[in-house]
Amino acid sequence: MSSKSPRAASQPDAGEILARLRSGKRVRRPLGTGGRVAIDRPLPFLCVYRGPAEGEDPGTRELVTGVASYLVARDEPKGRSRTAALVRGLCRGLADDFGGVLLLEVWAQPEPAEEPSAAHSLRIVAYEDHSVPEAAEQLEASLSRVRLPASLHLAVETVQRRKIGPPGLPPLLAAGAAAEGCHVLGIELPRVYVDPEKGVVFPVVHRALRRGLTAAIHRAVYRFTRLQTSHRPPHYHALGAQSLTKAVWDVDDQLAAVSGQFDFLLLTTPRNADEAWAAFRRSRFEKTPRFSYRPRPFDVSIAKRELYAAPIERIEDPTVSDLFHEQQHEIDRKLTMIAERGTPRFVHESVQLFGLVEEPLLRAAVDVLERIPSRAREATRREKVDAHHFAARAEEEIKHLRRQHEAVTSRVEIRQDVAGLMVSRGNLLIGARTVMPAARVEAAIQHEVGTHVLTYFNGMAQPFHQLRVGLAGYEELQEGLAVFSEYLVGGLSRPRLRLLAARVVAVAQMLEGASFVEVFRELDRNWDLERRMAFTTTMRVFRGGGHTKDALYLRGLLRLLEHLRGGAELGPLYVGKIGLQHVPFVEELSFRKVLVPPPLRPRFLKRAEVQQRLARVRAGIEVHELSKSTTPSKKRSSA
């Protein structure tokens, strides 16, 4: 395309861009042949990439588009002076606004890396007068911590040169520009993200480098702002983009549309639990029962086709891109599990999704079972409530949530095809034959409504659908948080804690090859679970062909206790359906004002006794101490 093309002719000047930014509008405008300037809001930095006029430079341009203020352009002879003038004009205007501006130019080393497993030199280039040593120091330290896959290692160094820019190109800002508050650093990247033989990008390496480079630039700019500008962001994350492109919302919609085609929990839970129990009892607990499942209301192959049609590669924001890639893979695994339901392959997919039972987790489970008496049934001796009583109490709690946030539309349904309690898409489903001790009602309410329902609608209040659907691997924290709420309201009874431990033992035995009957006997005879409970636990573990999800409850609780003992706050974990691994992402997106403060907060957190229990956890207590009391037990496991 020539410089006289309509697109080139519409290239904006610096004054127009600065005026738009100062009026509170973001800028995304084309430049020449495929170039672009994208600035989220007035910020004291600009990232620049100048691509070659001829040939290709695969992957390098995309490495700078993750920051909130960037300009990319081809270095065409006719457009070179216009690009340089635009950059200089923007830098001078931003320097006037903030007292200083940092220009970071990124380019790739001329030759591809020859040895993918060797250390590669990444150079930070500064002028000889080195007007921003602190920013360069922070950039070097941050880039040195970037970890790339495939055993790639970056050896980062800072060098001083008389000019800063790609080989063969004139500098955009001379050293003397620092006197006007315009400072510059260069980042010369080794081509570790490109296959040296085929010239194609290694996508996983490229994504890791882009995320690391984006964070390193924001850290360096944050250091620069504290020393040489009037800008005072509260955190380096606050320098990220606050507005996201249409590609983000399109992909979010597509992923949510695929997730919305199925309810994973309902489709992998037997619908004939009562009949199966009756048949098992008639066989004197010797014959494995047959389970039936709801028909699949969709075609798995078509759903997967739609899933991978989502163009995540078009998303510039590295944080959102990473979250969506994880989500895509998780949805794929769930679809595969549904397709393999009732086959021996189901359990292998379950392990991929929910993990194995690690040795420390099994030891913790056995420790709970040994410390808590097998006849700890203090709750079961008291008044019982039925499904209708529990539903009425749940309705009260939901009304309280609705007073906080009118968008809460949760329904309570009593159903014949559900065993126990279940939250599905924000609705509470209660098995028609549900009976529980009255002492367990408050704990169960806070587990189901105060955690599962609440986080669903908090997630719905966020701009991303994925926070209500559940980010990849969210179940562990979600169940750990739900069980922890039982403790906080004083309702985590000894039988309940024993049950969570028994689930871990049951999953471990199932994975070791034990049959349904053998696992039932382990729970009934060795650990003395009440027989219907032992059956239900075994059924949950063998549903679909072997489900490892039930080990998540105790694992999630243990990891949550460790998280809180480290001084972390509990409140941010209710932002939506997230995992502990997502806390840094949530913090970043919150600083960037992409996420909004969650509208709902569990009301029990206001109680003085709840804060006292939380303080006990922060001081350090073992998991078996969360129940009301414990005493040594002589029971031992054959596991």
For residue range 479-512, what is the model confidence (pLDDT) as tens digits?
999 999 999 999 999 999 999 999 999 999 999 9
Residues 235 and 284 in one domain: no
Is the residue at 248 inside a domain?
no
In a domain, 314, yes or no: no
- The answer to which of 92-106, 353-367, 461-475, 619-633 has the lowest mean pLDDT is 619-633
Quick one: 223 and 364 in the same domain? no
Q: Are 548 and 504 in contact (CB under 8 A)?
A: no
Pinpoint the alpha helices (H) of 372-463.
387-404, 441-447, 454-460
pLDDT in tens, 550-594: 999 999 999 999 999 988 999 999 999 999 999 999 999 999 999
What is the residue range of 555's domain?
Answer: 263-297+340-626
Q: What is the pLDDT of residue 84?
A: 93
Residues 369 and 422 in one domain: yes
Question: 121: closest CA among 146, 147, 154?
Answer: 154
> Per the domain annotation, does 418 fall within a domain?
yes
Percent of all residues in the chain with a pLDDT value above 70, rounded to a whole number:
94
Same domain? For 207 and 287 the reply is no
Question: What's the pTM value of the predicted model, to 2 decimals?
Answer: 0.90
CATH of the domain at 143: 3.40.630
**DSSP state, residue 483:** H
The per-residue b/e assignment along 516-532, b for 16 or more CB within 10 angstroms, e otherwise, is bbebbbbbbebbbbeee
Q: Which two tokens stand for residue 242?
A: 């606050």
- Provide the pLDDT for residue 374: 80
In angstroms, the CA 328 to CA 109 distance is 33
Sheet with 153-161, side-by-side order of all strands: 27-31, 35-39, 69-74, 45-51, 101-112, 182-191, 119-127, 153-161
Helix (H, G, I), strand (E, B) or coil at 45: strand
**Contact of 421 with 386, CB cutoff 8 Å:** no
Q: What is the mean pLDDT of the chain?
A: 92
Query: Measured in whole angstroms, how far is the alpha carbon of residue 190 from the centre of its chain?
Result: 30
Q: According to DSSP H, which parts of 340-474 are helical?
A: 345-354, 359-371, 387-404, 441-447, 454-460, 466-469
pLDDT at 116 over 70: no
Is the domain of 207 the same as that of 268?
A: no
Residues 219 and 127 in one domain: yes
The pLDDT value recorded for residue 376 is 55
- Cβ partners under 8 Å of residue 202, min gap 6: 150, 192, 193, 194, 195
Radius of gyration for the chain, computed over Cα atoms and rounded to the nearest angstrom: 29
In a domain, 571, yes or no: yes
Q: Are residues 161 and 290 in the same domain?
A: no
The encoded tokens of residue 504 equal 């871990």
Report pLDDT digits (tens) over 261-307: 999 989 999 999 999 999 999 999 999 999 999 999 999 999 999 99
Whether the CA torsion 377, 382, 385, 391 is positive or negative: it is: negative
Residues 97 and 13 in one domain: yes
Residue 7: which pLDDT band, with cuts at 50, 70 and 90?
Answer: very low
Nearest to 505 by CA among 369, 348, 345, 627: 369
87 and 186 inside one domain: yes
The stretch 426-431 carries a mean pLDDT of 96
pLDDT of residue 6: 42
pLDDT for residue 623: 94
Q: What is the pLDDT of residues 40-68, one digit of tens each?
A: 999 999 999 999 878 889 999 999 999 99
In a domain, 317, yes or no: no
Q: What is the mean pLDDT of residues 312-327?
A: 96
Residue 246 lies in a domain: no
Residue 89 has a pLDDT of 96
Q: Tell me the pairing of strands 119-127 and 182-191.
A: antiparallel
In this prediction, what percent of the chain has a pLDDT beyond 90? 86
Q: Which two tokens stand for residue 445?
A: 């309410």
pLDDT band at 378 (very low <50, low <70, confident <90, very high): low
Say whether both 22 and 157 belong to one domain: yes
Of the three residues 225, 240, 255, the one that is the final residue of a domain is: 240
Compute the distance between CA of residue 262 and CA of residue 254 in angstroms, rounded to an integer.
14
CA distance 571 to 560: 13
Does residue 636 lie within any of the structural domains? no
What total of structural domains would you count in the chain? 2
Q: What is the pLDDT of residues 137-146, one digit of tens each?
A: 999 999 999 9
- Taking 90 as the threshold, does the pLDDT of residue 635 lie above it? no
51 phi, psi to nearest 5 deg? -85, 160
Give yes or no for a contact between 602 and 447, defined as CB atoms under 8 angstroms apart.
no
The pLDDT-based confidence of 372 (bands split at 50, 70, 90) is very high
Output DSSP code: residue 625.
G
For residue 170, pLDDT over 80 is answered with yes
Whether residue 562 is found in the same domain as residue 440: yes
Task: Examine the domain organization and report whether 190 and 291 are in the same domain.
Answer: no
**DSSP of 203-268:** HHHHHHHHHHHHHHHHHHHHHHHHHH-S---SSGGGGS-SS--HHHHHHHHHHHHHHTT--HHHHT
